[in-house]
Amino acid sequence: MSSTADTVEREKNLQGIGCSRKRKEDPRFIQGKGNYVDDIKMPGMLFADMVRSPHAHARIKSINKEKALALPGVHAVITAEDLKPLNLHWMPTLAGDVQAVLADEKVVFQQQEVALVVADDRYIAADATELVEVEYEELPPIVDPHKAMDPDAPIIREDLVGKMEGAHSKRLHDNHIFTWEVGQKDETDRVFETAEVTVKQEMTYQRVHPSPLETCGCVASFDKIKGTLTVYITSQAPHVVRTVVSQLSGIPESKVRIISPDIGGGFGNKVGVYPGYVATIVASIVLGRPVKWVEDRIEHLSTTAFARDYHMTGELAADKDGRIKALRVNVLADHGAFDACADPSKFPAGLFHICTGSYDIPTAYARVDGVYTNKAPGGVAYRCSFRVTEAVYLIERMVDVLAQKLNIDKAEIRFRNFIKPEQFPYTSAFGWEYDSGNYHAALKKVLEAVDYEGLRKEQAEKRARGELMGIGIVTFTEIVGAGPSKTCDILGIGMFDSCEIRVHPTGSALARMGTITQGQGHQTTYAQIIASELGIPSEDIQIEEGDTDTAPYGLGTYGSRTTPVGGAATAKAARKIRAKARKIAAHLLEVSEDDLEWDVDRFRVKGSPDQAKTMKEIAWAAYNNVPEGMEPGLEAVEYYDPPNFTYPFGAYVCVVDIDKYTGVTKIRRFYALDDCGTRINPMIIDGQIHGGLTEGFAVAMGQELIYDEGGNILGNSFMDYFLPTAVETPHWETDYTVTPSPHHPLGAKGVAESPHVGSIPTFTAAVVDAFAHLGVTHMNMPHNAFNVWKKIHELGLDKRS
């Protein structure tokens, strides 16, 4: 009989699920041995640089390339005119719209791509961009989305004039993209008419940029002899890129190879296909040489996908005890000049209708209208599942507004409205089926940990002295892991994901997935899943992603879908292997399969544990001694289409002190409790939560892409765009509860985006709470010193006697 000590030891050796195994990726990165797109060098490689529009809205009268072409070392200057014969001057977006690859007759946002210059090196290419002469006739721009549908608003998209049937609905104006409605409008209106209490709040979720450290770029290499195209690219979804590139170029998908090498962060920014990629690929095809294009920081912040820019009005109807009866939401969504949101095709506002949050709200209605403006396209999920950050922000703000109106404590009002543990699985008014949760326990734990009562007492004393202290509480629910392919697809491809595992004769394994790590540590955690499922030590499991020639087709990594979808595929692929291994073990031990039981890393005969075959022995046998009729080998592939999303949740508290003479907000305390179900690697979870909280802090306290009235983008460098360093970043306290997902094979939910989604409204809540006693119900982000001071000054709090 194997002793428990022996079992524990063998389990420890595996470094499987639940182990804080150190990240396999790190030794490479911290020694500077990463291999990013800009590290790729190919023989004969040329360099591309982009000529960009100085105007937000202008007609292109002429483009003169002659001087640029005359510069020694310049190979080509490509414009829309050159792409037209190939029908590549426009490309489809993920949102059912089209986007100009290179500006076709008009530019519609500042820094838009106008011409691609290809030269021997970066320096010549940069010089040549200055020699391309473009003559513009300026047009009035639309910057304010509220003015986009004015009757006399200039038309941004002349290519769409007369096409009033949009991808998602009828278009109401030439600058209108879609109307999207969900829920029961009439019923909701009726509840509002008869409600004891109603509250209404307008709020703007500013335009921000995910801003990964690595900007976007690619190296395209077309082999004229073989007819193959290889592209190294900064992509969170290489397989989707392969499909799109094949469709656009007409090159068979089997001859297109897309490789996402090391990716220096994505945060949703690297999901879509950008004009620079397409133009660079065309350049390589035309010139028959490898071409590299890598944007600089200003180009990156100015043109690649932004996030948010939601102008929201929330309303709650409730009884006088604060029990919510209905939610009504209207959103004006600024999508920029092309609708290039990266959402599942059927959801033009993503999963925004998770906006009933953690609360049992019987009736709800939401409407989102998308409009065009003269700004860069985007609208991606910045470290969140599609538009979930916006949804959580809205409901969490509204619950606070209601609490203030009724003078009910902000924690208490949440307890009154939570979906109760026994209500799961719970179907929301918008039709989502929440898989599992225990919101009461989470909030209770957090309030105790921070001594909530003590904080409120301290706040009362400080208020009496005229000091500004705020306490923010957020209890959020996310919806991640897109998704069931019955509802979710990208360009018609269901949002499943995949894993292929090969166990080698000597018992080590290679596994490949359709996802792609960008810092999340997939090479570490995927191996842990397989280790626990197959009894092979993590160290002996090699994980590969990102090369479409080798990895099985998958939809990529964003929206916290890797663990919910890719992780499930991995567990199920491993289980297929284990099922085969069981048959082989039965054969080797000459017993029936039913007589065997799994024991960490081996099958043993029930009742006589000394009779056992380890996975290592079974692997060897798989290649030379399988039962009759069985194929040799020990491999499996799983394409996993999840039955539902997973619904991670958390309870956060933030305490701030505000300097009333400068507006500087100090985050005194931030306590984050997350529940992501089964925890695969607690250390990585903590790291991801720290990162997500830090990015949430950045968004709430400083990030904003600002445009002036002329449509000029301001603040598009790190001098202004806020990326916190260790100096600014507050201290994070983390905690957890475990409520497994009932439908996920491992019980796991996504986690790395929760802290971003959950923390942003917590910061706002804390800042607003500092002014709540003065009747302030909401303040728009970013809560930088300047903005906070304006509120202080408006209220006269900085007056000296």
Partner 1 sequence: MIPGAFEYHAPTTLAEAVSLLKEYGDEGKVLAGGHSLLPMMKLRFAEPSHLIDLNGIDELRGIREENGVIHIGAMTTENELIASQLLWDKCPLIPEAAKLIADPQVRNKGTIGGDIAHGDPGNDHPAIMMATDASFVLHGPDGERVVPANGFFLGTYFTLLEPEEILKEIQVPVFPRNTGYAYSKLKRKTGDFATAAAAVVLQLDGDICTKINITLTNVGPTALKAEEAEQLLTGKVITEDLINQAAEKAMAICDPAEDLRGDVEYKTHMAGEMTRRAIRQSLDRARGN
Largest Cα–Cα distance in the chain?
A: 95
Catalytic annotation on 19?
A: no
**H-run or E-run covering 765:** helix 754-771
* DSSP state for residue 226 in the 8-state scheme: T
506 is an interface residue for partner 1 by CB under 8 A: no
Question: Which of 727, 731, 775, 796 touches partner 1 by CB under 8 A?
Answer: 727
Catalytic annotation on 383?
A: yes
Considering beta carbons, is residue 29 or 661 the nearer one to partner 1?
661
Of 25, 214, 545, 753, the active-site residue reads 753
71 is an interface residue for partner 1 by CB under 8 A: no
Of 111, 112, 206, 236, the active-site residue reads 236
Report the relative pairing of strands 74-78 and 113-119 from DSSP bridges: antiparallel
- Least separation in angstroms between CB 707 and partner 1: 12
Question: Which of 147, 606, 661, 773 touches partner 1 by CB under 8 A?
Answer: 661
225 is an interface residue for partner 1 by CB under 8 A: no
Question: Which of 439, 722, 732, 771 touches partner 1 by CB under 8 A?
Answer: 722
Question: Shortest CA distance to 716 belongs to which of 731, 698, 703, 699?
Answer: 703
Per-position DSSP letters for 443-484, written without gaps between them: HHHHHHHHTHHHHHHHHHHHHHTT-EEEEEEEEEE--BS---
- Least separation in angstroms between CB 302 and partner 1: 12
298 is an interface residue for partner 1 by CB under 8 A: yes
Considering beta carbons, is residue 130 or 135 the nearer one to partner 1?
130
- Least separation in angstroms between CB 168 and partner 1: 35
- Least separation in angstroms between CB 100 and partner 1: 24
Catalytic annotation on 467?
A: no
- Residues near 706 by Cβ (< 8 Å), separated by ≥ 6? 207, 713, 714, 715
- Residues near 250 by Cβ (< 8 Å), separated by ≥ 6? none
712 is an interface residue for partner 1 by CB under 8 A: no
CB 336 within 8 A of CB 310: no
CB 20 within 8 A of CB 683: yes
Task: Enumerate the β-bridge partners of residue 671.
Answer: 653, 733
Rounded CA separation 145/156 (Å): 12
Residue positions counted in the chain: 801
Asked whether the CA dihedral 59, 65, 71, 72 is positive or negative, the reply is positive
Of 341, 384, 499, 676, the active-site residue reads 384
73 is an interface residue for partner 1 by CB under 8 A: no
Binding mask 565-604 for partner 1 (x = CB under 8 A): ----------------------------------------
- Least separation in angstroms between CB 74 and partner 1: 14
795 is an interface residue for partner 1 by CB under 8 A: no
Catalytic annotation on 753?
A: yes
Give residues 124-163 in contact with partner 1 (rule: CB under 8 A).
Answer: 126-127, 130
C-alpha distances out from residue 517 to 256, 530, 533, 562, 617, Å: 21, 17, 21, 9, 32
Q: Residue 126 burial by CB count (10 A; 0-12/13-18/19+): exposed, middle or buried?
A: middle
197 is an interface residue for partner 1 by CB under 8 A: no
Name the segment binding partner 1 (CB under 8 A); options: 315-323, 491-499, 614-622, 657-665: 657-665
Question: Shortest CA distance to 342 belongs to which of 490, 204, 120, 234?
Answer: 490
Asked whether the CA dihedral 108, 110, 112, 116 is positive or negative, the reply is positive
- Is the N-terminal amide bond of 252 cis, ω within 30° of 0? no
Give residues 771-790 in contact with partner 1 (rule: CB under 8 A).
Answer: 784-786, 789-790
- Least separation in angstroms between CB 800 and partner 1: 6
720 is an interface residue for partner 1 by CB under 8 A: yes
Considering beta carbons, is residue 114 or 619 the nearer one to partner 1?
114
Asked whether the CA dihedral 69, 73, 79, 82 is positive or negative, the reply is positive
Question: Which of 193, 725, 775, 796 touches partner 1 by CB under 8 A?
Answer: 725
Give residues 93-122 in contact with partner 1 (rule: CB under 8 A).
Answer: 122
Rounded CA separation 411/448 (Å): 12
Of 289, 383, 387, 561, the active-site residue reads 383
708 is an interface residue for partner 1 by CB under 8 A: no
Other Cβ atoms less than 10 A from the Cβ of 790: the count is 12
Give residues 233-262 in contact with partner 1 (rule: CB under 8 A).
Answer: none
Considering beta carbons, is residue 295 or 769 the nearer one to partner 1?
295
C-alpha distances out from residue 672 to 70, 146, 344, 427, Å: 60, 36, 29, 26
Considering beta carbons, is residue 687 or 715 the nearer one to partner 1?
715
67 is an interface residue for partner 1 by CB under 8 A: no
Considering beta carbons, is residue 621 or 767 the nearer one to partner 1?
767
Which residues of this protein are in contact with partner 1, per CB under 8 A? Answer: 122-123, 126-127, 130, 296-298, 661-664, 702, 706, 714-715, 718-720, 722, 724-725, 727-728, 784-786, 789-790, 793, 798, 800
User: Which residues participate in catalysis according to the annotation?
Assistant: 236, 383-384, 753
